[in-house]
């Protein structure tokens, strides 16, 4: 196994660990607040914003050990999460509003769909591992 592939598996493992912990807690809170009557889309929106904010530091420092621009990666992180949020919202609209499935199960699946999208977006767009010494300057 090449070093680059091994590093990608390590990143995926760290991302999965951070995601498992934060999404388990987030889903429990989602389940509880919807149980007491908060509408599912409002609960998802609020928890998405809180989770994304906390996740930035964990993913920047621990998962991808990114040492590039804080502002640049922060802006790209917002863009990635904007699209992740839209994916999550569309999943809820389609499967809860249109197909009338239970929102608890739909949200549980949506967590994994969005997490997969975000890992790819974080790895290649938000926290790219670019060695500037190997990039040719023309």
The tens digit of pLDDT for each residue in 54-71 reads 889 889 989 999 999 999
Total domains, the chain: 1
The answer to whether residue 137 sits within a structural domain is no
DSSP secondary structure letter of residue 96: I
Say what the pLDDT of residue 122 is. 96
Query: What share of the chain in percent tops pLDDT 90?
Result: 58
Assess whether pLDDT exceeds 90 at residue 137: no
The answer to whether residue 1 sits within a structural domain is no
The answer to whether residue 49 sits within a structural domain is yes
The answer to whether residue 58 sits within a structural domain is yes
Measured CA to CA, the distance from residue 74 to residue 97 in angstroms comes to 33
pTM above 0.85, yes or no: no
The answer to whether residue 106 sits within a structural domain is yes
The answer to whether residue 21 sits within a structural domain is yes
Domain that holds residue 12: 7-128
DSSP secondary structure letter of residue 127: S
Residues 6+ apart with CB under 8 A from 129: 7, 64, 66, 123
Work out the mean pLDDT of the chain and round it to a whole number. 88
Say what the pLDDT of residue 20 is. 82
Residues 6+ apart with CB under 8 A from 20: none
The answer to whether residue 136 sits within a structural domain is no
The answer to whether residue 101 sits within a structural domain is yes
The tens digit of pLDDT for each residue in 68-115 reads 999 999 999 999 999 999 999 999 999 999 999 999 999 999 989 999
CA angle (95, 92, 82) in 5-degree steps: 140
Say what the pLDDT of residue 51 is. 82
The tens digit of pLDDT for each residue in 26-45 reads 888 888 889 999 999 899 88
């Amino acid at each position: 196994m090449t070093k680059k592939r091994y590093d990608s598996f390590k990143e995926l493992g760290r991302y999965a660990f951070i995601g498992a912990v934060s999404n388990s807690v987030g889903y429990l809170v989602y389940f509880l607040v919807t149980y007491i009557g908060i509408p599912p889309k409002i609960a998802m929106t609020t928890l998405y914003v809180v989770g994304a904010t906390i996740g930035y530091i964990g993913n920047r420092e621990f998962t991808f050990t990114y040492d590039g621009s804080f502002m640049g990666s922060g802006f790209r992180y917002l863009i990635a999460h904007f699209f992740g949020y839209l994916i999550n919202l569309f999943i809820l609209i389609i499967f809860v509003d249109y197909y009338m499935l239970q929102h608890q199960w739909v949200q549980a699946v949506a967590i994994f769909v969005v997490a997969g999208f975000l890992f790819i977006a974080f790895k290649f767009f938000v926290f790219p591992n670019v060695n500037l010494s190997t990039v040719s300057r023309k």
